[in-house]
Amino acid sequence: MDEPDAAAAADPDVYLVAAHPQWRESRVNRRLVEAARGVPGVRVQDLYGAYPDYDIDVAAEQKRMAAARLLVLLHPIQWYSMPALLKLWLDEVLTHGWAYGRNGTALQGKDLWLVASTGGPEPSYHPQGYNRYFFDAFLPPYEQTAALCGMRFLPPLLLHGAQRASDAQIAAHADIFIERLRSHPDWPEIEDLPACPACDVPDTDRPADHPED
């Protein structure tokens, strides 16, 4: 999944960060990434292909994010969260004073869109299902990440039961995904989403002389 992204412009409108530890075994996410590479104005970043040693180029990632209007996080749900490298990417790239905090305004006014797949079918995400909660219960970390940075959190695009989805279901899902990429920000539901002012983080909560707790 590390082939060059021919469709990406110098300053694309969409930065799609894709994270899958085993692309060869992917049925859904791989299909979406391959389709997205053909959409003008979309830059695709395969995290596991770009950073196999987990040594993230923070400056380069921040530059790409700053240039885009829409940040897409695309990944399978693993243990009710994101793959490990994507979590590290968030930890290292969304820095205090750049992404959030008093002078952290680089991402304000942009949009964040989660595109994810689950192994379990939708009924499993139910109080009577084996996952015990509706899927919305696992979204607050994504929503608050957007809010902290002053970004709008767009309605996620999900495909449940990805392991057993038919080819026709995956194709239909990919069509919706590509249509959304092409039409952003002209989505009907976006009109009803209020702007999200960045959360106020006091400097005392992030002292410069003690960056790690």
CA distance 213 to 207: 10
Q: For the ranges 4-13, 61-70, 191-200, which has the lowest average pLDDT?
A: 4-13
Which comes out higher in pLDDT, residue 62 or 205? 62
pLDDT value at position 14?
A: 98
Residues 6+ apart with CB under 8 A from 81: 87, 138, 141
Q: How many helices and strands, by DSSP H and E, does the chain display?
A: 6, 6
CA distance 115 to 82: 11
Name the 3-class secondary structure at 52: coil
Using one digit for the tens of pLDDT, what is the confidence trace for 167-210?
A: 999 999 999 999 999 999 999 888 888 877 778 888 788 766 55
- C-alpha distances (whole Å) from 148 to each of 27, 69, 86, 89, 192 are 33, 17, 18, 16, 20
- Interhelix angle for 84-93 vs 58-67, to 10°? 80
Using one digit for the tens of pLDDT, what is the confidence trace for 112-164?
A: 999 999 999 999 999 999 999 999 999 999 999 999 999 999 999 999 999 89
CA distance 13 to 67: 7
Assess contact for 133 and 125: CB atoms under 8 A. Answer: yes
CA proximity to 69, closest of 154, 5, 1, 2? 154
- C-alpha distances (whole Å) from 91 to each of 54, 99, 130, 160 are 12, 11, 30, 27
Percent with pLDDT over 90 in the chain: 78
CA proximity to 115, closest of 6, 11, 35? 35
CA proximity to 125, closest of 74, 159, 174? 159
List the domains of the chain with CATH numbers: 14-205 (3.40.50.360)
